[in-house]
Chains A and B, each alone.
Chain A
């Protein structure tokens, strides 16, 4: 039995290890690896708005414009190469154009604002794939390359729970929309677990029938709970 638990533990560990990257990206919001990740990453931190981009060491061009109804009070550049990258900062808009290549992994800038209610973005990227524009979190994408975010966008995004973000939102939604499969599947897993308990833990107990009845009742209750939990998670 010891060896079995070792094997099971190893499999579970391998499975969890494989999920480390998705979890890192899914839970920490704007995690990206310069020179490996590809796309725009926009977030807010200490009242500063950060706009950064990275490519997977291929020649890429990132350019665009950010405008606002307020005032831009300051800006900082990050890994900016004067010879390739251009930025023009006005009172209420920023125009930029930059390139990345196999030696230049990422660029970006941050800026502070006052008296604003929204930010308008017009962001361009090589292939124009909108899923590469991450605003406040991984895969929080706009519907067009020209888009607007309100002042409270980032704070609203922070209110989003883990189960409302990728990949959990999609996973739970598939489980719930395919109810018959999910509950039959979980029931089969439950039966197997109860059988394992029956031949191990319950083997030496008296009144096995009662224990079995309790186990199956618990399984049905768990199924009902899972139904409501899934319903709550995908609401």
Chain B
């Protein structure tokens, strides 16, 4: 029995940390404190999208409509299965079914917030994200710093107390953590050089949340050893999306890919552009992205840490140059927290990013500001004067927010530069090691 728990401990905490009593105690302390902060926010706050996500799942579970969210089919399947489980266990969720099935978004939101068991429902809805979050925190332990348990523990701490993780999962309540977990598993497999499994899992991640497609070329260049590998890994990489496309085409008679390409979310990628003449324009993110990928391609000895640095660079470039939603910031976090160990200053810039995001949020209006508190007292937060009317009273709110948006971009670009310097240092150190 003791052996079983020892093995379990090693499997969860990693051998380095588990065998060091002081470190394992510190890890437990960080875990508990981080959990406490998460639980404090769990039942009281949410952004409208959480309700929409579960409304689509309710369409599947209560009304049997499988295509209620055909653009995010796998995410909807996970939410539907979870909703089915919690509705079977907790009668409170069953009682909410009329609210979840209500088509009018305003009425459903009001009814949800005014229901006496709104805190129970919110806590149960968000526990799904807590589960994914907990798994993520233990996978991140394994991504870097082998044989350096102290640094591993620091990485764990940076995840546990990361403001974006706490805000996006427990205040904003968005489901990006699912895609992030799958991406982290793919990264772990890539670290262990399981090239096919890594790409298969990443491909599943792409089908789940599309975002990991940005780091697919990095994976291919990192894992491919032969020309044949490039072809096989590329094909596997897009197979997840292709499978979803085929399923959607035959089951719903609609294309997921074209639906996504025509969605406003895809336009975000193209939002920053240089207008040339007539129809000619350059999409800045696309051009910069190609430069990043090519610079990675030209690194001869690609270490796993360099791969992680490039992951951070790509996602930081995205939020720097493109229109983005707050939850997209979560994609930078797993990469950044590892770099924080080598470049402490990045941690402070990351907190500055968070503070700036809180101001940028204002422009998304009531839904992402005062309405987040609506479960506490919906009437109060509906009639409370929101931040936009207050700002507009004194200054143009678009200008006000965009000043902070520009500072955010400046800070993010500076972070990219620091990561680039970190890359250079790592490559130089490697070269020196070789020479010695």
Instruction: List residues of A whose CB falls within 8 A of some B CB.
Output: 1, 3-4, 7-8, 10-11, 14, 18, 21-22, 25-26, 32-39, 56-57, 105, 131-132, 138-139, 166-171, 174-175, 177-178, 181-182, 185, 188-189, 192-193, 195-196, 199-200, 203
Contact = CB atoms under 8 A, between A and B. Distances in A.
Contacts of A192: 32, 35-36, 39
Contacts of A199: 25, 28-29, 32
A8 B36 CA distance: 10
Contacts of B107: none
Interface residues of B, number: 42
B393 A175 contact: no
B433 to A, nearest CB: 32
A4 B117 contact: no
Given A21-B385, A181-B119, A185-B123, A4 B33 contact: yes
Interface in B141-195: 157, 161, 163, 166
Interface centre among B358, B385, B389, B392 (most CB of A within 10 A): B385
B383 interface: yes
B384 interface: yes
A178 B27 CA distance: 34
Which 4 A-B residue pairings sit nearest by Cβ, starting from the closest? A167-B377, A170-B377, A36-B389, A7-B161
12 contacts: A1-B29, A33-B385, A33-B389, A36-B390, A38-B385, A131-B382, A168-B377, A174-B118, A178-B117, A181-B117, A181-B119, A199-B25
B385 A37 contact: yes
A152 B261 CA distance: 64
Nearest to B383: A131
Nearest to A193: B36
Interface of B: 25, 28-30, 32-33, 35-37, 39-40, 43, 92, 116-120, 123, 157, 161, 163, 166, 351, 358, 370, 373, 375-385, 389-390, 392-393
A22 B33 contact: no
Given A139-B379, A196-B33, 5 more contacts: A36-B390, A132-B383, A174-B116, A199-B32, A203-B25
Chief secondary structure at chain B's binding surface: helix
B374 to A, nearest CB: 10
Chief secondary structure at chain A's binding surface: helix
Contact of B373 (A4, A22, A178, A196): A22
A105 B393 contact: yes
B124 to A, nearest CB: 9
Given A36-B385, A170-B376, A177 B116 contact: yes
A175 B379 contact: no
Contact of B379 (A8, A170, A177): A170
Contacts of A7: 161
B163 A11 contact: yes
A4 B161 contact: yes
Contacts of A177: 116
Contacts of A166: 377, 379-380
B376 A171 contact: yes
A196 B376 CA distance: 28
Nearest to A191: B32
A199 to B, nearest CB: 5
Contacts of B43: 181, 185
Contacts of A36: 385, 389-390, 392-393
Contact of A35 (B118, B376, B393): B393
Contact of A26 (B157, B380, B392): B380
Contacts of A203: 25
Contacts of A170: 376-380
B390 A8 contact: no
Contacts of A14: 163, 358
Contacts of A11: 37, 163, 166
A34 B394 CA distance: 11
Nearest to A105: B393
A234 B384 CA distance: 22
B40 A189 contact: yes
B153 to A, nearest CB: 12
A146 B240 CA distance: 63
Contacts of B163: 10-11, 14
A105 B351 CA distance: 37
B29 A196 contact: yes
A167 B25 contact: no
Contact of A200 (B29, B36, B166, B382): B29
A57 B392 contact: yes
B120 A167 contact: no
Contacts of A200: 29
